[in-house]
Chain A
Amino acid sequence: MPKERRLASDILGLTVFLLLETAALLMLSNNNAMQKLWISRISHGFMAKTWGATQAVRGYFSLKGQNDSLALENERLREIVRDYKAAAKESDPSARPVLGNDGFKYIPATIIKSGRNSQHNYLILDKGSEDGVVENSGIITSKGVIGIVDAVSKHYSFAISFLNKELNISARIDSSGAVGPLAWDGLRTDEAVLREIPLQFRYNPGDTIYTSGYSAIFPPDIPLGVAGEAKVINGATNEIRVKLFQDHSALKYVTIIENTRIREIEDIEATEDKRKEDRK
């Protein structure tokens, strides 16, 4: 039998089969209450499963949109929390940080490309100058520092990742208040090294490490990680291994922060430098 004829015969057979079975099922359900209930239960179950599956597929493809809106919602909620914290600190002048809490502008962004395989890793974010991003803005999440914006185009930003051995973040040990530069160790994506901690400062493994707020890029008190083992360098300072909170290998949503008072800080620094030179 030719292939086409066999196919036509198979289709005809299947059609007749379905027709006869449907006819039998209709007879069965129309003449027997019990079978009618059973058939309707099966058909409802089948429909529920089918619609459930299509809903699940549709839900999967809408995840990106939902994630984006959740990231925006998160940022809005964080802003409310920051406002509350700022209000609380306003009432306690001794707790006031180096930079005023209201001196930072927060822009939610998505990482669209990132390098993690070299010693000088980078990130590309989906926000650019049109969204208000400027160079030297910080990039953070609620779990740590992610990098610093290095170049900005109209719609995108290029950033130096924290997983770049040249990037140092000013960090503080919570218990002792000691401050030093924190940098990636170049070995693991979840570990960094806190250097230049004077020996007189005591610390315990497990102490939390925060941003110090001494740099003009990052606000204070962003949790970075926990202190691990330390070793003495040249008999003068401690070098502490830090286990980072942020898993840099699974990162998509971040927040760009811009210090809106950076110009003011730079001006005051320049004035002070000039005064020192004049004294000389």
Chain B
Amino acid sequence: MRRTFTLTYLVMVVAQMIFTNYFHFSPLCMVTILPMMVLCIPTRINTVWAMVIAFATGLAVDFLAEGTLGLNALSIVPVAYARKWLIGIIFGTEPFEHKENLSTRKYGFARVSFAMIIVTTLFLAIYITADCAGTRPLWFIASKLGISLAASYLVSAPLVNLLSYDDRR
């Protein structure tokens, strides 16, 4: 089961690299599945290790895709840091007590979607602000955040079931 998660996670890292390299629809739109991937890191992995994994993932995408080095790493670590707190608020302490992973079957698609939207918003807010580096007006940042959030959610939502392997038991 653990091997399945790792394999799926690595495949998704490659998928993210492909998104970053080839899916350029508009300067106002970017697609990311990294926040969803970090959210689905098994709950038995503590915050420190989750941050290390997230950092390595972000760095890999930065390095191997045509991103700005450090940008994905900078944006994804706060998601990993907030992950435990966010899961506690939305899903309660149960996932940690039973060492369960997030599952749309158990917790419902709406709650998982809500968590995904929050982490994606956090990621995109940091990513877009750092990427624009104070050179873009607020309306551009806000528009890019809104459009990218919608696009990223539409891509992440079908993929979340691949990482939450409880559904396949």
The interface of chain A, by Cβ under 8 A from chain B, is 9, 12-13, 16-17, 20-21, 23-29, 31-32, 34-35, 37-38, 41
- The docked-state distance in angstroms from the alpha carbon of A31 to that of B66 is 13
- List residues of B (55-69) whose CB comes within 8 Å of A's CBs: 55, 58-59, 62, 68-69
Check A16/B70 contact, CB under 8 A, given A24-B58, A34-B133, A41-B134. Answer: no
Closest to A25 in B: B74
Closest to A29 in B: B70
- The docked-state distance in angstroms from the alpha carbon of A20 to that of B69 is 14
9 CB contacts below 8 A, A to B, read A16-B52, A24-B73, A24-B74, A29-B70, A32-B69, A34-B133, A35-B130, A37-B133, A38-B135
Check A31/B70 contact, CB under 8 A, given A20-B52, A24-B58, A24-B77. Answer: yes
Distance in Å from the Cβ of A30 to the closest Cβ of chain B?
Answer: 8
B residues less than 8 Å from A31 (CB atoms):
68-70
Closest to A33 in B: B133
Which of A16, A26, A32, A37 gathers most chain B CB within 10 Å? A16
**Would you call B70 and A20 a contact (CB within 8 A)?**
no
The interface of chain B, by Cβ under 8 A from chain A, is 46-48, 51-52, 55, 58-59, 62, 68-71, 73-74, 77-78, 81, 130, 133-135
Closest to A26 in B: B70
Q: Which of A20, A29, A37, A38 has a CB less than 8 Å from the CB of B77? A: A20
- The docked-state distance in angstroms from the alpha carbon of A150 to that of B130 is 71
Closest to A21 in B: B77
Closest 6 CB pairs of A and B: A27-B70, A28-B70, A38-B133, A24-B74, A24-B73, A31-B69
Which of B48, B58, B133 gathers most chain A CB within 10 Å? B133
Q: Which of A20, A35, A41 has a CB less than 8 Å from the CB of B51? A: A20
Closest to A10 in B: B47
Q: Which of A16, A26, A27, A34 has a CB less than 8 Å from the CB of B135? A: A34
**Would you call B48 and A16 a contact (CB within 8 A)?**
yes
**Would you call B77 and A28 a contact (CB within 8 A)?**
no
- The docked-state distance in angstroms from the alpha carbon of A34 to that of B134 is 9
